[in-house]
Amino acid sequence: MNMKKNIFFFQWPSNLGGADTRLKDLITGLNKLNKYNLYCIPLDEFRLKEKENVNFLKENNVNILYWDNLPKQVDGYAISFCNFRLFSEKWRILKIKEMGLKFIWSNDMMWTTPEEMQCLNEGLIDMYLFTSDFHKQILENKSPDIKKNKSYILPNYFNFDAYKKIPKKKSTDKFIIGKVSRSDEMKFSENFPLFYEKIPVKNSFFSIMGVNDNIKNKYSWFDFNKDKWELLNENAKSSIAFLSQLDLYVFNANHKYIENQSRAIIEAQLIGVPTVVPNYGNFSNMIWHGRTGYTFDNMNECYYYINLLSKNKTLLKEMSENTREFSKKIWCDINNQNFHLENIFNMLDNVE
Amino acid sequence: MKKKFCYWSISWGDYDHICQSLVDSAIGVGIEEDFIVFSEKPIKNCINHRLDDSIELDRLQFFKFEYLKKQLSKLDYEYFIFIDADHFFVRHPHMDIDKIMNGSPWHSFLESPVNSHRTKRQDWWGIPNNTLCSAMYQNGVQSAEIRNTNGGFWICHRNFINRASELAYEFHNHLKARGYTVPEEVSIGYLSHLMSPDVTDRYLEKYVNYWASDWVGTFRDKLPYDHQWDYTSYMTYEKLTVQPAIVHAMRSKTALINKSK
């Protein structure tokens, strides 16, 4: 008799975007535990033609279903990260509930949507997940209705084995500084090109992935010199290939944007790239200042730390090793992630 | 073909006379760049346009951003140098605009620290120093030192015009929501901090041969001339020896009117 619990992921894994990569890593981890029957349901049927993702799911013993062939009634849990179409196309969330599944929703963003809140108030979300205490505070402040619901803090999980640094193809005397994000203006400070250009490191080279035409147009007042800059489209390379070439991950976002649990920063750390980021949002909970990277309070500090790391290769190497080790302990423990998941399931099943 | 930069100004009433003196002083020292003036009465020796009736000449002087967006953005220059009418050229500035901008799309001279142990004044435009600093930091400024600026002289890259205006209004509205309704000058200072990660690029003391503001009246009721004088820092009252080519002759208005009348 199969006593495994059923988990239905109403989301599709991919290498692009925090939520989809989060799912991918979680599936890998849960498959290793061999405790659950895993199912994956994409929103759009064309996803079933994505060979790489389909193969990934098969290799990890995930059953692929589509909305037409979902079971009518089934015991188990539905999980989705950041998939807001479940609410804007309301028949989807209604279908999940009609199946008898307990719906666990992780918003993953720093904002909520009206449709999401409407579904919450109608009791269609059984468990509301936050990724950090910081995330919980921000969202509960913005949308107090969340407080009425069952909630839980489930941090991101990372599959450590997937984050292996790819050796650089050729050696360079350039000190490569960069960042990766989705192509969103909010991920770029108003002074974005100058923020990097003014870094006081003579042999610096800037590599930025996640730039689109809107972003290039916004900063058209700046002359991006090809000898110093590489601007890549979103997903131009795998994040691992991109991050592997960096000596230092330096990030600064638009002041209107609050960063919570940036997967890109954790991925950089897992690859062993130290990070320098502003001291705001949730960064101080992701970076051990002075050990795995630096958080800065002003530009003087920012440039001081970058300069320090560029000049002191021993410190850079030590920090690189620290950051990989530290992130592995914090973010890559599948038993800890599973402990949290079991807590969530127990709360939903009213098991004390 | 795109020209590197132009000067531009706006005037009406008595300021038309003042502006004529400004333009004449620029021509007199050999300025060859285009000088564009929007004025009530005709101004000679420049590219002169009538005031745009659709733009309100508001008390807080945000009309400067409206002209920038509506009138200047149509013109083919890389940079636009706004200069208040009550300026006076005492010699050719030989302005190396690329050096001044140093990559930034925005410039005004940042004059005097509001959050230093040297600061003597408690506020700028009625905004307590701490409140001003908090507002700057909340709106993306990341420099440790915050300074006041003078809104009479600033430079904008043509591809930054719309964003500059949006940011200026956003900062203005942020302060207004907290009970401080202040002129455009404060937003101009905000932009200089925000758009210069190395904020020292905007510090006045680097440019004492280009520009300074005679707000204490060294040339009171006289026309400025090419002469070394002591500039007084607005927030600290410290003295700085300057010999600028362009003087913001705020206390010389009568002399400027009489010169062109």
What CATH number is associated with residue A29?
3.40.50.2000
Count interface pairs A-B at CB distance under 8 A: 53
User: Are A166 and A315 in a shared domain?
Assistant: yes
pLDDT digits (tens, 9 = 90+) for A201-236: 999 999 999 999 999 999 999 999 999 999 999 989
The answer to whether residue B236 neighbours chain A at the CB level (below 8 Å) is no
Name the pLDDT band for A352 (thresholds 50, 70, 90).
very low
CA angle B26, B29, B32 (to 5 degrees): 65
| B34-47 per-position pLDDT tens digit | 999 999 999 999 99
> How many whole angstroms from its chain centre is CA B168?
14
pLDDT of residue A262: 85
Quote the CA–CA distance of A123 and B182 in Å, as a whole number: 48
Same domain, A274 and A176: yes
- To the nearest whole angstrom, how far is the Cα of A222 from the nearest Cα of chain B? 7
Evaluate whether A54 touches A19 at the Cβ level (below 8 Å).
no
Q: Do B104 and A194 touch (CB under 8 A)?
A: yes
pLDDT at A169 over 80: no
Instruction: Say yes or no: A146 and A179 in one domain.
Output: no
Mean pLDDT of B91-120: 97
Q: How far apart, in whole angstroms, are the C-alpha atoms of residue B73 and residue B52?
A: 14
pLDDT digits (tens, 9 = 90+) for B120-174: 999 999 999 999 999 999 999 999 999 999 999 999 999 999 999 999 999 999 9
**Chain B residues within an 8 Å CB radius of A195:** 197
* Rounded Cα distance, A346 and A352, in Å: 7
Chain segment A272-289, per-residue pLDDT in tens: 999 999 998 889 888 999
Q: Say if residue A152 is in the same domain as residue A231.
A: no
Q: What is the pLDDT of residue A16?
A: 75
Range of the domain at A208: 161-330
Q: How far is B139 from chain A (nearest CA, A)?
A: 6
Distance from the A264 Cα atom to the nearest Cα atom in chain B, whole angstroms = 22
Do A143 and A165 fall within a single domain?
no
**Which residues in chain B have their CB less than 8 angstroms from residue A229's CB?**
none
Domain boundaries, given as residue ranges, for chain B: 3-260
Same domain, yes or no, for A86 and A201? no
Q: What is the mean pLDDT of chain A?
A: 94
ipTM of this complex prediction, to 2 decimal places: 0.94
* CA dist., res. B174 & res. B184, Å (int): 13
Topology (CATH) of B3-260: Spore Coat Polysaccharide Biosynthesis Protein SpsA; Chain A (3.90.550)
Q: Please indicate whether residue B42 or residue A14 has the higher confidence score (pLDDT).
A: B42
Is A76 found in the same domain as A45? Answer: yes
A124 and A201 co-located in one domain? no
Nearest to A190 among B157, B195, B199 (CB): B195
User: Closest approach of chain A CAs to the CA of B74, in angstroms?
Assistant: 16
Contacts of B26 (CB under 8 A, 6+ apart): B7, B35, B89
Instruction: State the total domains in chain A.
Output: 2
A169 and A89 within one domain: no
Which among A189, A190, A221 has the least Cβ separation from residue B159? A221
Query: In this complex, do B167 and A190 lie within 8 Å of one another by their Cβ atoms?
Result: yes
pLDDT value of residue A18: 81
Question: Are A85 and A223 members of one domain?
Answer: no
Question: Is A190 in contact with B140 (Cβ distance < 8 A)?
Answer: yes
List CB contacts (< 8 A) between A300 and chain B. Answer: 143-144
The verdict on A236 and A99 lying in the same domain is no
